[in-house]
Amino acid sequence: MVGNFDFLQAEWPQLHAEAKKAERDALFDPRTTCFYARRTVELVVKWLYRVEEIQVPYKSDLAARLHDPVFKTVVPPQVLPKMNLIREYGNKAVHEAKPVSQDVGRRVLAELFHILSWLARTYATQPSSKPSPTAQFDPARLPKPGGGAVVAKSLAQLKKLEDQLAEKDQQLEDAEEQRRLLIEQLEGRNAEIEAKELVTKNLEELVAQLQQQVAAAQAAARAVPDTHDYDEAQTRRDIIDLLLAEAGWSDDRVGKEVPVTGMPDGKNGFVDYVLWSADGLPLAVVEAKRTSKDAVVGQQQAKLYADRLEAQYGQRPIIYYTNGFETYIWDDLHYAPRPIEGFHTRDELTLEMQRRRTRKPLASIEIPKHIAGRPYQEAALRQVTEHFENDRERAALLVMATGSGKTRTVIALTDMLMRANWVKRVLFLADRVALVKQAVNAFKTHLPDSAPVNLLTDKSTEGRVYVATYPTMMGLINEMEDGRRRFGPGHFDLVVIDEAHRSVYQKYRRIFEYFDSLLLGLTATPKDEVDYNTYKLFNLETGVPTGNYELDDAIADGYLVPPRAVTVPLAFPLKGIKRSELSEEERQRWESTDWGDDADEDELPDAVAAEAVNKWLFNTDTVDKALEVLMTRGHKVAGGDRLGKTIIFAKNQKHAQFIADRFDHNYPQYKGSFARVITHAVSHGQDLIDKFSQPDQEPHIAISVDMLDTGIDVPEVVNLVFFKPVRSKSKFWQMVGRGTRLCPDLYGPGQDKEDFFIFDLCGNFEFFDQYPDASEGALARPLSARLFEARTEMLVALEKTADYPALRTETADRLHRTVLGMNTENFLVRPRRREVEKYSDRSAWDSLNEQKAAEIVESLADLPTAVPDSDEMAKRFDLVILRGQLSVLYGDGALPKYETSIREIADGLLEQLSIPKVAAKEPLLREVASDEWWRDITPPMLEHARKEMRSLVGLLEKKKRTIVYTDFQDTLGEVVERDMPELRSGTDTDRFNAKVRDYLRYQPDNLALQKLRSGKPLTEADLASLEELLVRSGAGEKEDLERAVENAKGLGRFVRSLVGLDKQAVQQAFADFLEGRTASASQIDFVNLIVAHLTKHGAMDPGLLYEPPFTDYAPQGPDQVFEPEQALRLVQTIRAVNDSADVQSA
């Protein structure tokens, strides 16, 4: 029987033999068909690499070869996806035990036919070997099974065959290499050389002849438009099939073209895909549209199919609709449609169906107070759960001060969501290894049943809570196991982002977009400082997080301790050093100081800027004075004999080490262990952190560069030293957060930590006073993205002139190759598959305008590519040249600054002529360094310089700044305590009240005052004691006291209005009110306002419940959030608290 691939026999007999094996087995052993189809493709690719003289990539496997950018310029975009599909099916055939259907075998052969017919039409030298463009794969030609001559191969047999063929291929390659080496060894023998030359000459002539024939065939083929129908619709369906396979959907679990009846138009319909449960019920429908259409076009049709399947089976399926590029999921019983990056597994969809029956209202789930029982934590939990349940939102953001228990709040939320059957698996992401370790330990302690997994160390362990750093998760998402993604888009039900700030958003947002889960962000950054893009990620109004509990709230409520700001005005770090202001003796030392090789003895620096101090100039007296202030004024522990735990934030590693050296010099009695440098550059840094975290272990001073700015929780820290300028408000508050933790009995039994010192040596407090709205500054875009954008911009500029066609073509080719190197299987690239495929076509880069360029840059500039270019110095040089070229094209006058940079590079290279590579380019370098070369400069001239010089710039000697050590006398101004920026206390309105309040602060042992603050009943004797206190205060005349008491309606009420109520006593009163009930977030917020008012003012008029700020939460007052009897009881509780300031009648 004539086979589908017989056109190969004359010119590609080996390919014909392998394709014939694939064809032979299709109807009775499709697994073997997939195997041989893949092998045929592998041989085709290797043949193309040889013929087209393409350099083999660093990995020579089929996947790497298919994704090579040069290879992609050879194979048309209609053919390349088919090669990749066959590679995928071949891998699955060898490595997965699931049955392979005949339908898959036929489809693989059809795709192989498209590939091989293209190959023959393009490269065959004889017309008889070229199939007609209209020829298509004919399933009728497949050999019919029978006779038992061939036995279907098992999975093990195929794997063994694969290994044998791979070994054989390697042996052939090794033999060819040995032959080449042998010929080289024989070159010394004249006779053999002559023979070799004759053979080689004949071979070269034969090869040249064949190459000419192939080239002629290629030219002829490309001169004729390719009219072959590649059936791209089937390829797109195959891509959808592979996405389903990644989620574990085998053919026996997927229904295709499933008929449904009762459509609105009276006709029957056919569902593209139905995903079936194990018991034969529809879990999901998939509506597939052509790639030329928007996927959303299929939304209503998919809904109608879901309606009909629900009517037939009694279970409403989840809805997917896709065009192969974009896929949407619609669980229309709960959520609006949303994009998704693949499909859920059968288990995940089955679980979702079960949740429809078992999911509990989150309002009915009690808060686990043993995990997170503080009022603000309870409020945050209700705010998030109501946001998820009532508002049907899938993302929430909590702003919580450092030290307020964000992790415990998340653990409590996890517990609630699991008990309510809302989530099964949780992913917790942090930006540092130490934070991952802390989170895992916290889950083990507070929620051990969650079986937390540290993905940094236990990548294969199963659990319910997984914890990882962002980079680790980026890598794990792309991992495959037996053809399936280990972490598909539906793997997690909740993803938690620790420290959800803009740098995390910019670098790792694809993780959050990839997983189809509930999303919770945590940040300690004050809500007004949170970046716009962060709010956008969580679908929130800017400045309005889901929950907010900031540092000043936590301090006011007594859950954190306040900072005490101390300005330490050392002159050199603030103003720099001027030679003219030094003493005569110091000026002489200035002149003898080693300022580095570049310093001219006749032109020594007149000054050193403040920015250089502690960066490369380290002055002994500056550090000594700073340490003296710390050691004399810092909080002491151990009965005042030892400095409390302290963190010094240094400017850089050398600065940190210099501080440690000066400490050891000045305080030798501590034997070098009291103060230690803890940075990323120090080995065993975590061990030092662990020891620092122990109250009585050394070190007691941690000198850090960035490493301890965030994430370290040591309650015993009572001193912070800001020995570096900080201009980021979020970073500033994170550093402040290192000292805010409570620490009972720190100074002895009953002597708790009440505050901590911040010693500011670099004017940070004053900076934020002057610039309270200081911008965080723009985050730099990756260098590769900036290069892509600049090249695209230049391509548009070149479109507007006819002067430089060669440069235009070269620039377009470079951008085209970059896009060809983007692997659409990478989860970072997959969402942009449409754009990648569009611009993988070289013709798409012709006639580029600003609108197309903007689309290209937005979609593609940040995507990873296989185009190799790891030389950062060369790429930075490319960018300078590109900007110079753009300046020439625009005529915008910006060229001189780029000229200066490029000429400096040329001058620097001319100093390296001892290097042969540089010496070879000397003429060009001298031209570029000259004035004349820059007259009438053109973009092609700059491009030529770029190509010739880019490989040399890495040879430039980096000018290392000489480290300078000095010992000039620094000036220390008055060390003063001041208010923290944005944490200033309010101003009292009544001088009399202020005096009385101040006096009462120093009477903590007065029994009557203690009873008044704790809400305990007063006696007549207590009132007499309070009156005596007021008289002794000397705050005013007797008449003043009588008037104040009268206005307050009683002596007890007046005194309490000054000293307030103990917050725990007030909370206890209202805890009794809430006891046994499941309070909503609105109720908790409302009660917390009452508690705050009573704590501060000591009493409250119930009428205030109908005024702001209470009406901000409930415009109609308490009746809006409480049942009538509950509102009445609330008022009664307030009155009972008020009455506790009066003498109770017997």
**Which domains does the chain possess?**
6-223 (no CATH), 233-358 (3.90.1570.30), 362-556 (3.40.50.300), 570-770 (3.40.50.300), 783-955 (no CATH), 991-1059 (no CATH), 1063-1139 (no CATH)
Other beta carbons within 10 angstroms of residue 922's beta carbon come to 12
pLDDT above 70: residue 1073: no
Q: Please, are residues 795 and 848 in contact by the beta-carbon 8 Å criterion?
A: yes
pLDDT above 90: residue 970: yes
- Rounded CA separation 26/136 (Å): 17
3-state SS, residue 715? coil
- Rounded CA separation 74/1105 (Å): 76
Q: Which of 88-102, 144-158, 1067-1081 has the highest mean pLDDT?
A: 88-102
In Å, the largest CA–CA distance within the chain is 131
- What is residue 1088's predicted lDDT score, i.e. its pLDDT? 87
- What is residue 797's predicted lDDT score, i.e. its pLDDT? 93
Q: Please, are residues 86 and 112 in contact by the beta-carbon 8 Å criterion?
A: yes
Other beta carbons within 10 angstroms of residue 696's beta carbon come to 9
pLDDT above 70: residue 152: no
pLDDT above 90: residue 795: yes
- What is residue 196's predicted lDDT score, i.e. its pLDDT? 45
pLDDT greater at residue 1127 or residue 989: 1127
Residues contacting residue 893 through CB under 8 Å, at least 6 positions apart? 887
Among 465-474, 619-628, 910-919, which stretch is predicted with the lowest mean pLDDT? 910-919
Residues forming a β-bridge with 722: 649, 760
- Rounded CA separation 695/265 (Å): 77
- What is residue 761's predicted lDDT score, i.e. its pLDDT? 95
**337: region left, alpha or beta (phi > 0 left; psi from -120 to 50 alpha):** beta
pLDDT above 90: residue 340: yes
Rounded to an integer, the average pLDDT of 206-225 is 54
Location of structure tokens 């290629």 = 218
pLDDT above 60: residue 149: no
3-state SS, residue 38? helix
Rounded to an integer, the average pLDDT of 152-170 is 62
Give tens-digit pLDDT for 560-590: 999 999 999 999 999 999 989 999 999 989 9
Buried b (16+ CB within 10 A) or exposed e, 525-564: bbbebbbeebbebbebeeeebbbbbbbebbbebebbbbbb
Picking from 657, 649, 634, the residue whose alpha carbon sits closest to that of residue 735 is 649
- Rounded CA separation 269/263 (Å): 7
pLDDT greater at residue 57 or residue 1093: 1093
Which token pair is 963? 């480290």
**Cα 890 to the center of its chain, rounded Å:** 37
pLDDT above 50: residue 200: no
- What is residue 189's predicted lDDT score, i.e. its pLDDT? 45
Q: How confident is the model at residue 147 (pLDDT cuts 50, 70, 90)?
A: very low
3-state SS, residue 400? strand
- Rounded CA separation 293/302 (Å): 15
pLDDT above 70: residue 192: no
Q: How confident is the model at residue 948 (pLDDT cuts 50, 70, 90)?
A: very high
Q: Note if the pTM is more than 0.85.
A: no
- Rounded CA separation 1023/1051 (Å): 7
Q: Please, are residues 941 and 917 in contact by the beta-carbon 8 Å criterion?
A: no
pLDDT above 60: residue 598: no
3-state SS, residue 539? coil
- What is residue 641's predicted lDDT score, i.e. its pLDDT? 92
Residues forming a β-bridge with 982: none
pLDDT above 50: residue 990: no
Residue 53 burial class via C-beta count within 10 angstroms: exposed 0-12, middle 13-18, buried 19 and up: exposed
- Rounded CA separation 722/730 (Å): 15
**Cα 1003 to the center of its chain, rounded Å:** 53
3-state SS, residue 792? helix
Among 39-48, 516-525, 678-687, 1041-1050, which stretch is predicted with the lowest mean pLDDT? 1041-1050
- Rounded CA separation 344/248 (Å): 9
Q: What is the mean pLDDT of the chain?
A: 85
- What is residue 13's predicted lDDT score, i.e. its pLDDT? 92
- Rounded CA separation 822/836 (Å): 7
DSSP 1022-1068: HHHHHHHHHHHHT-S-HHHHHHHHHHTTSHHHHHHHHH---HHHHHH
Dihedral pair phi/psi, residue 669, rounded to 5°: -65, -15
Which token pair is 250? 């085998």
- What is residue 526's predicted lDDT score, i.e. its pLDDT? 62
Location of structure tokens 């659990």 = 463
- What is residue 183's predicted lDDT score, i.e. its pLDDT? 47
Give tens-digit pLDDT for 808-858: 999 999 999 999 989 888 888 988 988 998 999 888 998 888 889 999 999
Using alpha carbons only, give the angle 690, 691, 695 rounded to the nearest 5 degrees: 110
Location of structure tokens 């060390």 = 975
Rounded to an integer, the average pLDDT of 440-455 is 95
Give tens-digit pLDDT for 768-786: 877 665 555 555 678 899 9
pLDDT greater at residue 978 or residue 205: 978
Is the bond into 868 cis (omega within 30 degrees of 0)?
no
Helix (H) or strand (E) holding 168: helix 155-185
pLDDT above 90: residue 496: yes
Rounded to an integer, the average pLDDT of 735-764 is 93
- Rounded CA separation 525/399 (Å): 7
Q: Which of 516-530, 892-906, 959-973 has the highest mean pLDDT?
A: 892-906
Other beta carbons within 10 angstroms of residue 1128's beta carbon come to 13
Which token pair is 312? 């037939």
Is the bond into 81 cis (omega within 30 degrees of 0)?
no
Q: Please, are residues 702 and 692 in contact by the beta-carbon 8 Å criterion?
A: yes
Helix (H) or strand (E) holding 678: strand 675-678
| Strands of the 395-400 sheet, one edge to the other | 453-454, 465-469, 426-430, 494-498, 518-523, 395-400, 547-549
Report which DSSP code applies to 528: G
- What is residue 155's predicted lDDT score, i.e. its pLDDT? 54
Q: How confident is the model at residue 961 (pLDDT cuts 50, 70, 90)?
A: low
3-state SS, residue 810? helix
- Rounded CA separation 495/518 (Å): 6
In this structure, the dihedral spanned by the alpha carbons of residues 197, 201, 204 and 209, taken in order and rounded to 10 degrees, is -170
Q: How confident is the model at residue 208 (pLDDT cuts 50, 70, 90)?
A: low
Give tens-digit pLDDT for 921-944: 999 999 999 988 998 899 999 999
pLDDT above 50: residue 187: no
- What is residue 637's predicted lDDT score, i.e. its pLDDT? 94
| C-alpha distance from residue 234 to each of 240, 290, 808 (Å) | 10, 10, 36
- Rounded CA separation 334/1112 (Å): 30
Q: Which amino acid is at 938?
A: T
Q: Which amino acid is at 523?
A: T
Buried b (16+ CB within 10 A) or exposed e, 308-330: bbeeeeeebbbbbbbbbbbbbbb
Among 77-91, 434-448, 637-651, 793-807, which stretch is predicted with the lowest mean pLDDT? 77-91
pLDDT above 60: residue 704: yes
